[in-house]
Structure formats: C-alpha cells, structure tokens
C-alpha cells in the first residue's frame, strides 16, 4: 500500500505518473513519496525491494514536437520544428482497421442503468473516453477504451480526514482483509499468490484513497475487479474489530509482568516514517501552509495520535465516505465496455442514492491567510556520532483558485526552469552556495487541490539557517529581474514536451498514469480529461512565448512566489535526546494506561492479545479459500516471449560491437545505450566511479559549461544519463542458470539516451562529448556531489534500511555482492566521508584519480574492443539513423585495430582478484548491527542456499515467492506487525545467496526466530501441497505472473540486451519457464531441506541502540557499529 505525502521528496520514478500535463512537468515525480514498502516485478522475474509500497507485487515523458509557433528565436523554432517532423504522436499508433465512428460506438455504449454524461477523445493518447453516471446511486465511471491489453481498473473515494489518527490510511489497509463474498482473512494476499496482475495496490493521499489493479489476462482482470469492488463496499473490517486492531493499532500484553506495548501495521509503518528527518520536515511543511483545511492533519497517521482512533470512528469513516455516490470508478483497455458496466452495476445496484455523500467530502480551499512570512523551528533526532546540522525549507501556497490547463503547464515549465535539474537556476544557486549539503523540497507539488512550492537545504550549520531563506528569496528576485534566456526556455519546453508525447511509463501500466492524471482534476469535480490533453495548452503556451517571451514565466514567478506572502520557512534543528525522549514518552503513556487498568482489565488485554494472534496464525478454511476466484494452469502462456536482436561485431571495421532491437513501433524514438569497458580502472579508484558518472553530465564538457550542456541535452534529446553497469557472467563451461563464484564479470560505463530519429546525430555527439571532454577538474562541484551523496545515503539508511542490510549480507558471500557493498552499501558512507575530506584537503590527488579513471576507460589500444552500441527502434528509426551511427563509430576514440580485451567470460576480472583479498576484513562473516536514530528495525538474515557449480531449478522461483507471499507475510507482517516481511533469491543462478528481510519492523529478535522456523514450516507445507493441487497451481501462476509483466519499448530492448550479455539461449529460457510450470510439491521439500541446511548464515540489522540491547537480552548478540 502506498501513502502519498504531498511534501515528500520523491515518489520514485518507478510510478511514472507522467500522463497528464501537471505530472509530466515534474522531473521523475519527485514531489510524491510512497511512505511504505514495495516488492516490484523485475524484468528477470525475481523480486526487487524498494522503499515505495507494501502491498504491491508488481514497476518517464513524450518526444518533443514543436508546433508552428517559434520560441521568439529563429534558431529555436527550427530546432523544435525539425524534432516535430520525426515524432509519431500516440494517437497515430492506434489501429487503422476500424473507423473512428466504429471505435466510438464500441467505446460509448448505452446501458439502461447509466446515463452518459459526456464523450471525449484524448487524441494525444488514442483514448476514447466516456463518463457515465449510475442512475440509482450517482456513482461516476470514466470508461477509457483503446487497444491496450494491459487493462486497468481503479476506484477512488474522496476521504478528507479531520485529525491525524490515520483513519483513511488504516481503512485503506483494512478493507482488503476480507469481505462479504471473499471470506479469507487476506484476499489481497491470495490474489498476489495466484494472479497474473501487472499492478495491484492502493494509495492513501492527503484527501483521497485509490484502489488500483491491472492485468493483461481478461479472466484475471475480472476476478481482481470483483474482489476489489466487494472489498471497498462490503469489507469485513467494519464488523470485525480484529481487523482494525491488526492493521491500525492495539494494546499488546502477554504477561502482566511485562510492559504494555502498541502494535499495528500502520502504527509501525508511521513510526518508521516519523523516524525520517525528511518526513518530519515535509509533514510540518504541509501543516504550516495549510493551517485550516484537511491538509493540516496527517492522513497517514501520527504515531502519537493513531491510538486515539476508536473502532466506532473507524466504522463511521467508512460509512461516510465509501458510498458509491462518493466514488470515481475508472476503466482502461481493450475489454468490452458493456461488460464493464454490467459488472459495476451488480455492485452499485444494491445501494440507493446518497445526496449528502459528495458534499460531505468536499475539500475546502485554503485561503492565503498568512500576510507576513513565518518562521518555525522544530526538532529531529540525530545519533551520537551524527553531525548536528539543520534542515531549512521555504514553502509557499500558490493558488486560491483552479489553474487552467495552460496555467498548469506554465507553472510546470517554471518549476523546471527553477528546479528541473542540477543546472536549473534555483537548484544550482543553492547547491553552489556552500550553505548546505543537499537540496530538500524539490519545488512544485501539484497533485492536490492547491499547488505548493518548497525548496531548501539539508546539512545547514545553525548560524546559516537564515541565510538559506535569504538566498532563496534573493535568487527568485534576481530571476524576476533578469529573466530566462531563450536557451533555458527551449530546453525546458523540449524536455517536458518529449515526456508528454513519449508517454513512457516503464513497466507500470499506461492506464495507471492516465487514471492518476485524470484524478487530479476529477476528484475535485472538474473534467477529468482536461488533465490529459496537452496539445491545445501547449500550442497556447508556445504562442504566448512567441509574443511575450519569458514574461510568461516571470509574471507567474512574481505573482505566485516573489510577491506571495503566504510563506512559511521551516527549520529542523538536531536533538541527540529526542529519540530517547519520544521513546520514554510512549513508555510513560503505556505505563499510565497499564496502571489505570484493573487486574480484570489486564486479563482482558491479555485475552485479546492471545485471540488476535490465534486468529492471525489460523488457516483459512477450505470453504473460505474457495471463495477467492483464481486462474487455472491452462490459462497461462507456455512459451517465453522473445524480443528481436541483431548483433554486428566490429561493425564497419570500427572495432565496436553494435546490437540492434528492431520493434514494431517506438513512436519515432531511438533508445540508445553506449557501453564502454571499465575493467582497466584501478581497483583503488572504483569507489569514485559513482561520482565520475555524475561528473560526466553535471559539470560541463568541452566548450560547454554545465548549464549549456544541460540545455543542449534538454533541447535536442529526451534525456541523457550515465551509470555503472556491473554484471556477473558464467564461463562457457558453466550453464547460465548455475551458481558460480562471481570472479567473471562484465563492467561497463553505460551512457543512455533517447531522441527522435532526426536528432540522433546530436545524441551521439553529446555521448562522445561527455565521454571524452567532461570537465572533471571542478573541485567545488565534486565536493558538492560527495556531500549530496553523503546526505542521500544517510536518509536512505533510515528509510530503506532493509536494502542496506541485504547488500551487506550478500557482500559476505560473493565478489559481485562485495563490490555492490563497496560502491553503494552501508560501508560506502565511510568511503564518501573519506573522499570529502580528501577532496577538501588534497584536491590534486582526487583529480589525479579521476583523470586516471578516464585514461583507463579511453585506453587507445583497447577501448574500442570493449565498446558496445545498443539501439532500440522501429524500422523507420533504424533506417533513418544509419548515417548517424556510421559517423559516430568513426569518431570514437581508440584504435579500431587495437588490442582485444581479455575474455571476461572465461578469465577473472581484475577487480575480482583485489576484492577477494578485502572481503574477509571489510565484510566479515559475522552477525552485525548498524545503529541509527530510528523507531523501527530492518532485520536481515541470509546464507548460501546453493553452492558453486549447482544448477538452480526453476521451481525455486515458485517456492521463494510462496514464502514471500505466505509464511513471511503472515508471521513478520500480520502477526509481527512489521510493514513488510519477505525474502530474496535469484532463481536464475547468480550467487546462490538467500536472504530474509523485514521493513519497518517493531521486532528484532522475534523476527529472526520467524526466519529460523521457515524451513520446518516449508516442509510441512510441502506435505500439504502433495494433496492440494489447487494451492500448488496458485503458487505456479503467481510465479509465471512475475515473468510476464508489460514492458515499454526501451525495456524490451534492454531485456533483450541483458539476455545477450548473459549469453542465455532461448532454449535455456524456455527450460526455466517449463520448470516453473511443472513445479511439484517435492520441489518445495527439496527447497526446504536446503533452507534447513543453509550454509554460512549471518545476520545484518539496521536499528536503534535500544532495540539491539533488547535483542541481546533475548540471546541475539551482534557486533554493533554506530553509523551516525
């Protein structure tokens, strides 16, 4: 489940909510954060964890067409017009086998239970939209018909809270715990276990709650809709207090001599959220500028207030807001529209109209009541060894009325001009000021009724706090006076338009992006399609720019920021005692409650604790399980999906390998990955590679300053980025799916970019420029990057400790895992601190190391041999870019007839040799605890499940997923109260390491006990599965669903490239899929026996000092390390 927080820093690019103007103008959706945990489908079908959502077991902008209007400069007009000529619009991709009239008839069918409110076509995305109103209840349905087989359904309720008990958030969790028709304790989990869903989740916003699902299988799609719809309208939660206790909060006591404790999934989730200084800052920001409407309280719940939520208030909230009259229902895809309406009518017809439901949920506008800017100071917890620096963020409430679509676009472009990237004027000025270590706030946030703008710095010395506010204001005033250049405007406009036209949502369903975009208007009773049509406002904005130039943006800057006095500056000051004070406050509160209870009342608390745990541990009856709709093995696709690939070694005698993926359509866009070998980089310098990749795009190159380079990239491409790619590979003598020690690997510097076919020449020119002429000699910039990296890692450890625990565990067993730890794990924080010190006191030595990295990468004798140019495009794109490819290959550095690099598939990588020497001392095989200021734990344990040379059977994907969605979910999350409990294992070979992990966990030693009992539980399950073919089939179906997620064109190309790099054959992939499909109960037993005998087990935990002390008393002793 995802908690959307308005003032958060990032909602992660994975959600890709870029379908509408307001959302596409953001850089990677940075203004929304999911304060929860997610398990996302990876392209390999294994499981990756991220700090994003919890109940999701599922994963950027459109090419730049310029219209006929210029930007006030003939050169810019020419640039954009040329780009426009080559890009296909989304609507152009629609099927031409039917006339528009035919499509409209299919899309807007009439139905006796509904009236048609309006019909519309969002031609930008080929979407035929019909809004229906259910006659009996008044429920509204937005039915979008197109040819997308990744069908999406969503139902959203406006749910504005009046307090911070977290009732909308708790209810969002609770309604999915059984319903009238679907009677198991956790239908949601059963769906995860045996569905082909491509997305399944729910979101709690500050003012609304969304339930969303997607599937490419129509039978599965209807099953999911039925379960979700029955859940929201007829949940067990409103009649069973145990659900409220489990998901929300309850008092827990097992013995009268023990202290009373609070437990509950949401309660513990929010303790984790409030452990994050960033979350505290954003929460205070929202409260401060919305003093008198629903946004002044926390819809997710304040841990200090959550225990005030009674079951009666919980019931009443559902009754008030979860009526069809207060719902907005959404469909997207190629399924039959009449069947959509029939299905909804089955549920809606049971209700009568409720005229008061919609008015009761209206979100009131916050008036600009602050006439003089305010300053507030609050505290945040820091560790004993953590630097005592402040956080400062300046916040504005922007609008008191709805923005028009064109105004939405103007504000979005203005935000990009100010904060869109590291070279945008406000972002750059703050970072280069030296007043802080990292940006906070991120700029525009506009997914709620009213838009806000927030920006500031972290890592600020207390004496500089006021200077941060002064710098923000002075910079905006300076921009107002001096304006924006034509180049700045062209770059920002092109970047945003590319996003809009490409409509690239990654592996997330396009319908999800469309729905969330529409909901940003529809939820406030405005026309939903207005949020998605960009052609008209884009043309209008271009005309305004042509006539008035940058005055368009300066006028908005003046009205909504510079002259806007509804402004609050938040300062968070460090406190070394706050964590212990808050813990004591909770303990004192619980002690007071306990002392006020009689013996009989204490007995009642103990009784309820026992009853709840017994309920949580109990199995659903066969009759209840039978109520959950499911697929059959016959519904599954048997064959692996293969993607086109053509490999040209030494193309045109260049010495470079060119890999091509020709797809049916890529909308006129070329997706390019240029990989350059890094094996020659000295092992002692590899810790600098993450910074080196940033330098390549952020400090300027050749004759271009950092700003000019950013503008060139934004004006001519859809984006350019650099990253380090490191992949373990097996020798020719070892099968692809076998365990190998990891001494063989491919390491590349990957330069990725995308552009319309007529702009690939520019794209390739930029690639070469940043590869050969990046300005690596900027001490100030490098120090800024290092400090920003330090700040990011510290925040990430507190909020995503499970990922650091996992990386640390894996570092003990394989070279690849150790290198991941060395270049990005918890120990990398110490490395970054050392690099900061070295860069500040001995810059020449750091510069020399950076120069050595580039020299090694561009070694004249060998670099061509290690270069790979990977291109994804349609036939028209491939044909059009041939000359650009030829020119690029000729222009590259290095000798085309030079030496061949060593064969890394069959010889040890140079880094591996050095890494093995360090592993024992830097990542010892021992139980470790990492101490940080936090109210929750992230508990990891792992070991070697398979040893070198052993082949991993495909059934392991089924079994590990079964554990993740069954036993671990039940015992770590449901019973233990953690926000997430799961396991990781690469079923396609790899290092053979299996890990257990928990997320925002109130327990530590008890969670390790759960892990230790897994093998015995799985042995018992294997016996039961022998006589339960339906349960076995469910497990197989879920694993197959992980393999078959929907992919965007660039992802298809990337998947094909990775398969080639790993030297996997189609036959091997098919065998792996067949092994999954043919999984037997005996495979569960074999896996359980391996777990029982797992070798070299070790623990890694991120938690508080108090939690480690408590665990030690329970016999779980670890070597502790204070992180900060």
Which residues form the catalytic set?
172, 247
| Residues β-bridged to residue 456 | 393, 440
CA distance 979 to 247: 10
Residue among 178, 167, 182, 116 at smallest CA distance from 143: 116
Q: 8: which residues sit within 8 A by CB, 6+ positions away?
A: 31, 32, 33, 35, 278, 279, 282
Question: φ and ψ at 838, to 5 degrees?
Answer: -65, -40
CA distance 388 to 385: 9
CA dihedral 296, 299, 304, 307 (to 10 degrees): 130
DSSP string, 464-514: GHHHHHHHHHHHHHHHHHH---HHHHHHHHHHHHHHHHH---TTS-HHHHH
Q: What separation in angstroms does the CA of 363 have from each of 161, 250, 287, 293, 616? A: 10, 30, 15, 8, 37
Inter-residue contact 776 to 843 (CB < 8 Å): no
- Output the six-digit token pair for 529: 């399609």
Neighbours of 1065 (CB within 10 A): 12
Q: What burial letters (b/e) apply to 639-669, b meaning 16+ CB within 10 Å?
A: ebeebebeeeeebeebbbbbbbbbbeebbbb
Residue among 726, 774, 761, 817 at smallest CA distance from 1061: 726
CA distance 274 to 1094: 36
The beta-strand segments (E) located in 605-653 are: 646-648
Q: Angle 535-548/486-502 helices, nearest 10 degrees?
A: 170
Inter-residue contact 314 to 171 (CB < 8 Å): yes
H or E element in which residue 233 lies: helix 218-233
Q: Is the dihedral of CA 964, 969, 973, 976 positive or negative?
A: negative
Q: By three-state DSSP, how is residue 920 classified?
A: helix
Residue among 200, 246, 258 at smallest CA distance from 41: 200
User: How many Å from the N-terminal Cα to the C-terminal Cα in the chain?
Assistant: 30
**How do the residues of the chain divide into helix, strand and coil, expressed in percent and rounded to 5?**
50, 20, 35
Length of the chain: 1124
Pairing of strands 928-931, 1095-1103: parallel
- Which phi-psi region, left, alpha or beta, contains residue 687 (left: φ > 0; alpha: ψ -120 to 50)? alpha
- Output the six-digit token pair for 756: 């319309």
Inter-residue contact 968 to 985 (CB < 8 Å): no
- Output the six-digit token pair for 418: 């100010």
Question: φ and ψ at 250, to 5 degrees?
Answer: -160, 160
Which DSSP symbol is given to 700?
Answer: -
DSSP string, 544-603: HHHHHTTHHHHHHHIIIIIT---EEEEEEEEESSHHHHHHHHHHHHHHHHHHHS-HHHHH
CA distance 95 to 146: 9
| Residues β-bridged to residue 930 | 1102, 1121
């Amino acid at each position: 489940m995802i908690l959307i927080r308005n003032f958060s820093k990032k909602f992660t690019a994975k959600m890709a909510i870029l379908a509408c103007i307001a959302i596409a103008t953001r850089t990677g959706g940075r203004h929304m954060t999911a304060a929860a945990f997610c398990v996302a489908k990876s392209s390999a079908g294994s499981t990756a964890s991220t700090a994003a959502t919890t109940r999701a077991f599922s994963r950027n902008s459109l090419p730049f067409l310029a219209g006929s209007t210029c930007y006030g400069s003939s050169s810019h007009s020419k640039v954009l017009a040329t780009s426009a000529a080559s890009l296909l619009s989304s609507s152009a991709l629609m099927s031409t086998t039917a006339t528009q009239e035919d499509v409209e008839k299919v899309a807007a069918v009439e139905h006796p239970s509904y009236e048609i409110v309006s019909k519309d076509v969002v031609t930008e995305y080929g979407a035929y939209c019909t809004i229906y109103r259910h006659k009996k209840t008044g429920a509204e349905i937005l039915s979008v018909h197109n040819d997308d087989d990744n069908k999406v359904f969503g139902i959203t309720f406006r749910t504005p809270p009046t307090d911070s008990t977290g009732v909308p958030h708790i209810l969002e969790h609770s309604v999915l715990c059984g319903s009238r028709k679907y009677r198991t304790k956790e239908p949601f989990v059963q769906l995860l276990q045996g569905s082909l869903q491509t997305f399944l989740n729910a979101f709690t916003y500050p003012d609304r709650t969304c339930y969303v699902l997607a599937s490419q299988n129509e039978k599965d799609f209807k099953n999911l809709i039925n379960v979700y719809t029955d859940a929201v309208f007829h949940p067990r939660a409103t009649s069973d207090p145990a659900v409220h206790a489990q998901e929300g909060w309850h008092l827990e006591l097992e013995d009268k001599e023990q202290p009373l404790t609070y437990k509950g999934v949401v309660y513990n989730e929010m303790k984790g959220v409030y452990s994050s200084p960033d979350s505290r800052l954003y929460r205070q920001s929202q409260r401060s500028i919305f003093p008198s409407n629903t946004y002044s309280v926390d819809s997710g719940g304040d841990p200090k207030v959550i225990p005030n939520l009674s079951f009666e208030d919980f019931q009443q909230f559902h009754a008030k807001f979860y009526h069809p009259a207060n719902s907005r229902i959404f469909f997207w895809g190629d399924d039959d529209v009449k069947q959509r309406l029939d299905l909804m009518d089955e549920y809606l017809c049971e209700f009568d109209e409720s005229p008061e439901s919609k008015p009761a949920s209206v979100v009131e506008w916050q008036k600009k009541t602050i006439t003089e800017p305010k300053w507030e100071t609050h505290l945040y917890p820091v560790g004993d060894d953590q630097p005592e620096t402040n956080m400062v963020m300046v916040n504005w409430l922007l609008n008191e009325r709805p923005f028009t679509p064109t105004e939405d676009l103007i504000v979005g472009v203005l935000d990009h001009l100010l904060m869109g990237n590291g070279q945008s004027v406000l972002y750059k000025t703050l970072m280069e000021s030296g007043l802080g270590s990292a940006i906070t706030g991120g700029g525009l946030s506009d997914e709620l009724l009213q838009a806000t703008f927030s920006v500031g710095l972290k890592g600020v010395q207390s004496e500089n706090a006021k200077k941060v506010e002064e710098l923000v204001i002075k910079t905006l005033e300076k921009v107002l006076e001096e304006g924006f250049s034509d180049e700045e405007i062209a770059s920002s406009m092109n970047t945003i338009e590319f996003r809009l036209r490409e409509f690239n949502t990654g592996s997330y369903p396009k319908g999800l992006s469309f729905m969330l975009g529409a909901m940003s208007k529809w939820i406030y009773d405005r026309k939903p399609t207005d949020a998605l049509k960009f052609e008209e406002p884009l043309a209008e904005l271009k005309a305004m720019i042509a006539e008035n130039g940058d005055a368009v943006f300066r006028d908005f800057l003046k009205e909504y920021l510079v002259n806007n006095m509804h402004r609050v500056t938040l300062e968070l000051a460090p406190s070394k005692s706050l964590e212990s004070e808050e813990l004591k406050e909770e303990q004192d509160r619980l002690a007071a409650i306990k002392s006020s209870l009689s013996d009989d009342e204490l007995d009642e608390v103990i009784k309820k604790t026992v009853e709840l745990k017994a309920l949580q541990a109990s199995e659903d009856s066969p009759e209840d399980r039978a109520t959950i709709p499911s697929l059959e093995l016959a519904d599954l696709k048997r064959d692996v999906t293969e993607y086109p690939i053509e490999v040209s070694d030494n193309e045109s005698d260049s010495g470079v390998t060119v890999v091509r993926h020709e797809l049916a359509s890529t909308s006129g866009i070329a997706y390019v990955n240029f990989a350059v070998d890094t094996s020659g980089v000295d092992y002692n310098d590899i810790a600098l590679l993450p910074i080196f990749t940033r330098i390549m795009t952020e400090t300027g190159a050749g004759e271009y300053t950092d700003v000019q380079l950013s503008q060139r990239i934004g004006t001519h491409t859809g984006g350019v980025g650099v990253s380090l790619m490191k992949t373990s590979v097996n020798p020719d003598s070892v099968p692809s799916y076998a365990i190998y020690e990891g001494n063989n690997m491919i390491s590349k510097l990957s330069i990725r970019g995308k552009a319309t076919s007529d702009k690939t020449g520019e794209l390739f020119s930029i690639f070469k420029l940043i590869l050969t002429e990046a300005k690596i000699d900027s001490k100030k910039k490098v120090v800024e990057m290092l400090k920003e990296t330090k700040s990011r890692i510290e925040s990430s450890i507190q909020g995503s400790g499970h990922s650091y625990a996992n990386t640390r565990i894996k570092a003990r067993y394989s070279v690849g895992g150790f290198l991941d730890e060395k270049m990005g794990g918890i120990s990398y924080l110490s490395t970054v601190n050392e690099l900061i010190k070295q860069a500040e006191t001995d810059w020449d030595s750091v510069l020399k190391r950076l120069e050595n990295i580039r020299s090694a990468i561009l070694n004249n004798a060998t670099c061509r041999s290690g270069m790979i140019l990977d291109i994804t495009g349609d036939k028209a794109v491939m044909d059009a870019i041939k000359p650009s490819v030829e020119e690029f290959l000729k222009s590259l550095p290095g000798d085309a007839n030079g030496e061949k690099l060593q064969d890394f598939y069959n010889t040890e990588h140079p880094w591996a040799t050095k890494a093995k020497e360090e592993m024992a001392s830097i990542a010892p095989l021992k139980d470790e605890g990492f101490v940080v200021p936090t109210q929750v734990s992230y508990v990891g344990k792992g070991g070697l499940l398979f040893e070198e040379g052993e082949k991993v059977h495909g059934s392991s994907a089924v079994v590990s997923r079964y554990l993740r969605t069954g036993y671990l979910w039940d015992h770590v999350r449901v019973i233990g109260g953690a926000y997430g409990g799961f396991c990781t294992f690469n079923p396609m070979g790899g290092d053979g390491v299996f890990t257990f992990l928990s997320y925002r966990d109130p327990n530590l030693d008890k969670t390790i006990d759960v892990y230790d009992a897994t093998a015995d539980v799985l042995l018992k399950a294997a016996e039961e599965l022998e006589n339960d073919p339906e349960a076995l089939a469910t497990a197989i179906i879920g694993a197959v669903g992980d393999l078959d997620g929907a992919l965007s064109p660039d992802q298809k190309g990337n998947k094909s490239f990775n398969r080639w790099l790993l030297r996997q054959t189609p036959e091997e992939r098919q065998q792996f899929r067949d092994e999954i499909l043919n999984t037997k109960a005996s495979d569960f037993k074999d896996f359980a026996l391996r777990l029982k005998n797992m070798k070299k087990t070790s623990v890694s935990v991120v938690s508080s000092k108090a939690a480690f002390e408590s665990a030690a008393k329970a016999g779980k002793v670890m070597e502790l390390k204070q992180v900060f």
